Structure 1
Amino acid sequence: MTRRSTSRRRFLGAAGAAALGGLAGCANPFGGETTEGSGEELGVPSLSEFRGSGAIVDGRPAPGGTSIDELPDLSGSLNLYIGGGEGGIYKGFIGMLEDIYPEFSVLDSNSPSASLAQTIVEEVEAGATQADLFWSIDAASLGFVAENDAYEPLADEALEPVPADFRGADNAWVGVAGRARSVPYNTDVISESEIPEKVAQFPETEALRGTMGWAPTYGAFKAFVTAMRLQKGPETTRQWLEAMREAGTDRHRNEYLVTQAVADGDLTAGFANHYYAMRVKNQRPDAPLDLAFTNGDAGGLVNVAGVLQVKGTEKDDLITNFVRHLLSAEAQEFFATVSYAYPMIPGVEPVGGLPTVDELNPPDINLADLADLEPTLELMSEAGVSG
């Protein structure tokens, strides 16, 4: 099977098959296990407690990787700056850790990731660091902190399970959950073979003219355009934006609405992060919706939510252990099945038959460079596609 046939269209059939299974049929190495810490038994919940629910989740195999049972106990407090968006889901997992470890607590400050990145840099420069750890929903904000030397390298043992593409230079940060750009399309209207392999081909594809949707105000879309600018140059990117606008691409407020419109048949296809299709399919298993992924360009960008150790913290050991918990089998299963994120470790499958990360072919760019957003906003304005 070629990369294209493996990676572009797998989740529809798998989602239907998964609906036939259930957790009762899964091997569960986590149930009933305990770990010793501070003189008392600490119970780790069963796998089902970490796993989401629904048609695209049922019947999954037990995750591989290191179990929480195998990690040292968490003890102490962390001051965490956590980005908005998926931050509520991430805090749900943190709450589970606090339940497992009574002597562990997290004090969090929740704001947009870009704002928190700026705050961290300013605090470090002023010698008044407040945070121990920064959890950003995107690599751009992590890259901004790293470029301004406001971080301390993470320990090798914390990063070890994650592929190099999803780590910062000098161990500056590590991805804990991924999201892929994708092309949701309506299977009642168009076939997979009609979806272009390159994003540059979309404006000239007759079957898609006037039938596509996008959400230019959305942060993920701006990151996608930034990736195109970095890979193809500003002029080519501006021309593409203009061509898509002139082709009648329909503007929506966010990418979930784009994906819903595709599933409803109001659009033939669109541009969106992969997990919006997962949400639709979990609610509507029979929706005529599938995903395509372009090859080697911005249409197949894989971005990450990740964590960075803030310069000046004195909690190196606790941070190392906490990050290892975020990359445990249970945590990665939680992120994959609750937020439908791409797992960052081998042995944990993405939901719904999605291609694995190593089966995708994203553009060869440094994710930290996505922080350079201003030229992208100027390009979008020039092209009449203002965010």
Structure 2
Amino acid sequence: MNGDSGKRVVTRRKALGIGSTLAVTSLAGCMGFFSNNNDQNVEIPSLSDFRGSGSLVEGRPAPGGTSIEDLPNLSGELALYIGGGEGGIYYEFVEMLQDIYPDFTVYPNDNDSASLAQTIVEEVDAGAAQADVFWSIDASSLGFVADNDAYEPLSDAAVDPVAKDQFVGTDKAWAGVAGRARSVPYNTDELSSSDIPTTVQEFPSTDALRGTMGWAPTYGAFKSFVTAMRLIEGDEATRNWLVDMQEAGTERYANEYAVSQTVANGSLAAGFANHYYAMRVKNQQPDAPIDLAFTEGDAGALINVAGALKVKGTRRGELVDDFVRHLLSSEAQEYFATISFAYPMIEGVAPVGGLPTIDELSPPDIDLAKLSNLEPTLDLMDEAGVSG
């Protein structure tokens, strides 16, 4: 990432480095079958309308991939369960789609992704599914729905744009639409890239990091990170790591943006956070002394995804497929990359600010759906004294 100083945020070998909630319970009865009407008076906004602003966005090339103008028109009504967190940003894109397609209407129900996943499973089990599509901010919630057989496979056309197989659920249960990488934000006035180990297991014993790091254990992304560590290293090694990090003086924060901001202001030398929080800091403060490092092949290199799933029992399966195709369009991926600083899921769209591409990172080889096995993680964190 280039700031006014000309420094890159990622300088290392892979440089470690809704709308309002609406009641949806009556939708099944009042929403009829959709009919795809390609005679709508459709006007696609210019690329600038899909693109964010700030120092990280300036000078970007036009995105590759399939443009909205080359996709089937969206027509009909869609009941959308959309996860919280980034859901507000995501729903703004849904509103843009409704502006583009006058015959397309979305009825949203927003809550945290885990709660919505539970609700979907309960509704499907009761034979009373209220949602057509579930847009979760994380793969663990998608995996929970899929594991409970509350989905219908997406079409080939819907999942084909996703560049990496690991970002598509088994049996095409879901498609990733935006990625986020675990990272180590560090203060460049205090540390250099060579101070950051290539594996998180080395962190507690690294002298340059003792008493200088921060984390946010209550944050969902941190729990997914610990879950990934359990899957890779086992419970005992993960418990020991949590204890060792506490004994090394790691400070606790409410969220990972606070961790990244505190790194930027020099109160912390480094921390654990999703990559996009440092991007937000840098977009607001181009000269902030913050860079990113990524570990290699372990839980610290986890790439999680927000994704979309077709809910079992929907009568609007074709519309769901076309909706997901729009989420993977060049305009949508440019939107997610430059508004929320997410990793694009399709080829031809670059991440912001000089971030390494997904191909340049070394994420662990795990099934993201298995991140839904959260209860053992919470128990382990309690045992280690790191209450989530």
- Give the TM-score of the pair, scaled to structure 2: 0.91
Tell me, yes or no, if structure 1 residue 235 matches structure 2 residue 236. Answer: yes
Structure 2 CA distance for aligned equivalents of residues 316 and 371 of structure 1:
25
Q: Is the 8 A contact 1:181 1:273 kept in 2?
A: yes
Q: Is the 8 A contact 2:256 2:277 kept in 1?
A: yes
- The equivalent of 2:340 in structure 1 is 339
Residue 327 of structure 1 aligns to which amino acid in structure 2?
A: L
- The equivalent of 1:380 in structure 2 is 381
Q: Is the 8 A contact 1:173 1:308 kept in 2?
A: yes
- Structure 1's 263 and 69: CA in aligned 2 closer, same or farther, altered over 3 A? same
Give per-residue Cα distances to partners, 1:27-66, cap 9 Å, x unaligned: xxxxxxxxxx654531100000000000001111100000
- Structure 1's 198 and 100: CA in aligned 2 closer, same or farther, altered over 3 A? same
Residue 151 of structure 1 aligns to which amino acid in structure 2?
A: Y
Q: What SS does the aligned partner of 2:282 have? A: helix
Structure 1 CA distance for aligned equivalents of residues 83 and 46 of structure 2:
28
Structure 2 CA distance for aligned equivalents of residues 5 and 115 of structure 1:
39
- The equivalent of 1:321 in structure 2 is 322
Give per-residue Cα distances to partners, 1:270-311, cap 9 Å, x unaligned: 000000000000000000000000000000100000000000
- The equivalent of 1:97 in structure 2 is 97
Alignment of 1:46-85 (within 5 A): 46-85=46-85
Residue 8 of structure 1 aligns to which amino acid in structure 2?
A: A
Structure 1 CA distance for aligned equivalents of residues 13 and 204 of structure 2:
25
Structure 1 CA distance for aligned equivalents of residues 76 and 238 of structure 2:
48
Residue 15 of structure 2 aligns to which amino acid in structure 1?
A: R
Residue 287 of structure 2 aligns to which amino acid in structure 1?
A: D
- Structure 1's 201 and 310: CA in aligned 2 closer, same or farther, altered over 3 A? same
Residue 161 of structure 1 deviates from its aligned partner by 1.2
Structure 1 CA distance for aligned equivalents of residues 169 and 122 of structure 2:
21
- Structure 1's 166 and 38: CA in aligned 2 closer, same or farther, altered over 3 A? closer
Structure 1 segments (4+ residues) deviating >6 Å = none
Q: Is the 8 A contact 1:198 1:294 kept in 2?
A: yes
Alignment of 1:290-309 (within 5 A): 290-309=291-310
- The equivalent of 1:209 in structure 2 is 210
- The equivalent of 2:161 in structure 1 is 161
- The equivalent of 1:14 in structure 2 is none
Structure 1 CA distance for aligned equivalents of residues 327 and 168 of structure 2:
14
Q: What SS does the aligned partner of 2:313 have? A: coil
Overall identity of the aligned pairs, in %: 70
Greater per-residue helix proportion: 1
Structure 2 CA distance for aligned equivalents of residues 88 and 97 of structure 1:
15
Structure 2 CA distance for aligned equivalents of residues 283 and 130 of structure 1:
40
Q: What SS does the aligned partner of 2:146 have? A: helix
Q: What SS does the aligned partner of 1:176 have? A: strand
Q: Is the 8 A contact 1:203 1:244 kept in 2?
A: yes
Tell me, yes or no, if structure 1 residue 8 matches structure 2 residue 24. Answer: no
Give per-residue Cα distances to partners, 1:179-205, cap 9 Å, x unaligned: 000000000111001100000000000
Q: What SS does the aligned partner of 2:154 have? A: coil
Residue 156 of structure 1 aligns to which amino acid in structure 2?
A: D
Alignment of 1:79-228 (within 5 A): 79-162=79-162, 163-228=164-229
Q: Is the 8 A contact 1:161 1:327 kept in 2?
A: yes
Structure 2 CA distance for aligned equivalents of residues 57 and 216 of structure 1:
31
Structure 2 CA distance for aligned equivalents of residues 39 and 82 of structure 1:
29
Structure 2 CA distance for aligned equivalents of residues 287 and 212 of structure 1:
18
How many residues align structurally?
Answer: 359
Structure 1 CA distance for aligned equivalents of residues 322 and 383 of structure 2:
47
Residue 182 of structure 1 aligns to which amino acid in structure 2?
A: S
Q: Is the 8 A contact 1:189 1:268 kept in 2?
A: yes
Structure 2 CA distance for aligned equivalents of residues 333 and 108 of structure 1:
23
Unaligned runs of at least 5 residues, structure 1? 11-36
Of stretches 324-333 and 374-383 in structure 1, the one that deviates more from structure 2 is 374-383
- The equivalent of 2:4 in structure 1 is none
